[in-house]
Amino acid sequence: MYSFDMTSEQKMLVDTVRRYAEKNLRAVYREAEESKQVPDKVVQMGWELGLLPGFIDAQYGGYGEYSALTSALYLEEMAWGDLGISLHLLTPNLFAIPIAQFGNDKQKEQYLALFCNDSFPRATAALVEPVVQFDPADLRTTAVKEGDSFIINGKKTYVPLAKQAEFFLVYAQEGGVTQAYIVPSDTPGVKIGKRVKLMGVQALEMYEVEFENVTVPKANRLGGLKGIRIQKLLTLSRITLAALAVGLARAAYEYAVAYAKERVAFGEPIAHRQSIAFMLANMRIEIEGTRLMVWEAAYKFDAGEDAAKAALLAKSYADKMVLDVTDGAVQVLGGHGYIREHPVELWLRNGRGFVTMDGAVVA
């Protein structure tokens, strides 16, 4: 059947994350962006929500199983609070989710327990490369098998929290196919470069990382001999990013609605004019349409159906939608939208990031 009602467990989780986003993320988002730093306290509180352990099997120390749909539901709330801080909070997922999806028993046993502790895990992933036509399925970074080891060479960028990371999940091309390798940060040849400066999500610390003849044992190849399926990972990433885009867009839409009802011009609220009201109506329609596409893709993923196409359609639609909506919000606020006193300019800058981050966020 077609049903659009969350389970009561999902509703509770969404409520919890919404409260956290409202109380904590909204309170510090501007300060975090301007100081380019996420307060530790907010991270710790976010970690204590226990979202990631909820996706890890009990046998590895968690208390649930992965659901792309449940993830999509709370990611919307998180991004509604703030995207930069959300991406900081989700950094351990970039390591843990692929391990849970593709790891062999030994890898799951060894690593997943790290994500079921009280303290924020220090693990991240390196996928994106500093090239113009970046394609996760066609990487420049290479992994070459030599004896019982893999030797990794290449330059990565957009690696979140690389400086404090103890483990990297490094994506590299092995004989023309993208695979992933677990690399402890103290492995010789791992060089953390400069912090990446971006147009938006500036609260999130991201670095360039170079891997120069980094040698790891062959047991560190994710999934062992079987390896990973990069398209499946991209499918999950697209669902993740599209869900975050819906949350960000909803934040901008709600702000614009409230402003338009409040702001008086020519003697009445500007929302009384169709030129403004229709912009807001179209924002709402596009947000809702995107959300349903995200849900459908996530539902298919969880049901074990081929979700690749649904996820791609959702992501591609979300990329455009989030730009339209955040830009529309700036426009509704007019000159005030351009001023950093209001959040909409930041949301527009953040919104621009989604198309770029394809593959880079999995949660």
Partner 1 sequence: MAIEFKTPEAIEKQLRQVQIVAEHAMRPDSRRLDDNEHERPARYVAMMLPQMQEMERANIAAAKARAAKKKEAALATQSNGHGGVAVLEAPPAEEARQSTGTMMLVHMIEMLSWGDAGIYLCIPGGGLGGAAVQAVGTAEQIERFLTRYTEGPAKWGAMAMTEPQAGSDTGNIQTTATFDPATNEWVINGQKIFCTSGKLALEESDGMVVVWATVDKKAGRAGMKPFVVEAGTPGVIIAKVEEKLGIRASDTAAIIFDNARIPADNVLGDAEVKTSGGKGFKGAMKTFDSTRPIVAASAIGIGRAAFEFTRDTLAKEGVKMEYGKPRWKLSAVQADLLEMEAQLRAAWLLTLKATALLDAREENKLESSMAKAKAGRAVTMITQKAVELLGPLGYSTELLVEKWMRDAKINDIYEGTGQINTLIVAREILGYTRNELK
* H helix runs in 63-147, sequence order: 68-81, 83-89, 91-102, 105-111
Residue type, 167: F
What residues contact residue 307 under an 8 Å CB cut-off, 6+ apart? 68, 235, 239, 297, 298, 300, 301
Q: How many residues sit in the footprint of partner 1 (CB under 8 A)?
A: 51
272 binds partner 1 (CB under 8 A): yes
Q: From the list 185, 292, 323, 331, which residue makes contact with partner 1 (rule: CB under 8 A)? A: 292
14 binds partner 1 (CB under 8 A): no
Report the nearest approach of partner 1 to the CB of residue 76 (Å).
Answer: 13
Report the nearest approach of partner 1 to the CB of residue 192 (Å).
Answer: 26
User: What's the CA gap between 165 and 168, in Å, rounded?
Assistant: 7
- How, if at all, do strands 142-146 and 149-160 pair? antiparallel
Q: From the list 317, 323, 327, 338, which residue makes contact with partner 1 (rule: CB under 8 A)? A: 317
User: What's the CA gap between 271 and 268, in Å, rounded?
Assistant: 8
Report the nearest approach of partner 1 to the CB of residue 68 (Å).
Answer: 11
Q: From the list 92, 358, 360, 363, which residue makes contact with partner 1 (rule: CB under 8 A)? A: 358
129 binds partner 1 (CB under 8 A): no
User: What's the CA gap between 148 and 204, in Å, rounded?
Assistant: 36
DSSP string, 344-362: HHHHHHHHTTTTTTTTT--
Report the nearest approach of partner 1 to the CB of residue 313 (Å).
Answer: 4
Q: Scanning residues 69 to 108, which ones bind partner 1 (CB under 8 A)?
A: 69
User: What's the CA gap between 343 and 273, in Å, rounded?
Assistant: 23
257 binds partner 1 (CB under 8 A): yes
User: Where on the chain is the footprint of partner 1 (CB under 8 A)?
Assistant: 1-7, 10, 69, 133-137, 231, 234, 257, 260-261, 271-272, 274, 277-278, 280-282, 284-286, 288-290, 292-293, 295-296, 299-300, 303, 308-310, 312-314, 316-317, 319, 355, 358
